[in-house]
Amino acid sequence: MFRTNSTDDCNNSSVVGDYGDPATEHCSANSIAVNNANDDVNESGARFPSTSTASSSKSKKKTSSASSRSARRIQRELTEMANDRSSIYSAGLKENDLYKWDCVILGPVDTVYEGGTFFLDLRLSHDYPFAPPKVTFRTRIYHCNVNSHGAICVDILRHNWSPALTIAKVLLSICSLLADCNPMDPLDYRIGKQYLKDRENHDKTARLWTKIFASCSNVTE
């Protein structure tokens, strides 16, 4: 089983949210500057690419090659997931974009999230699988390791990421997080404290949120 939380990464890099009243609270592009240099001219008038132009060309080829490897890996994972369907999660491309996925996780049985259908966004960079996916909840959830922005504290998405891991394993890890939270290292300190000090009311609120925001009759993508 995966460890679900990392004290250093989660507490220092995430925004701690305050859900407040569930009935009232509402749920960059990188700009790359390319410097174009003039070609060098030799004595005979022949033009050659300048050093910066040649370097830029090599960089583009390297980036293109990495993107191609990334796309092949993602396509393979997509095929494997289609052939080996899970009963607790599903995932597919958004707008036919290999780097944007829509995911769904079903609340684990015998937990306060049972009966809930939770939608998540999963985004991949062109460095995948050498960089982890970015995963956020779209469906609101009362959980001490998920903040009000949908950010998730799970260590395999941070310092414990490995290229050997897959999107399927990430989703399984998040399913495990719903079944076994870590209140000692919360993203939402108030919920974590309530879990430890007042478990009855914590569970009551979590079930209510699941019914309001994640039940089949109320859920929206």
Enzyme catalytic residues: 153
| Nearest residue to 154 via CA among 143, 142, 163 | 143
Q: Which residue has the tokens 């290292």?
A: 185
Centre a 10 Å sphere on the Cβ of residue 92 and count the other Cβ atoms it contains: 12
Q: Which residue has the tokens 């191609």?
A: 68
- Burial code (b: 16+ CB inside 10 Å, e: under 16) for 114-130 equals eebbbbbbbebebebbe
CB 135 within 8 A of CB 157: yes
The number of CA neighbours under 13 Å toward the Cβ of 180 is 9
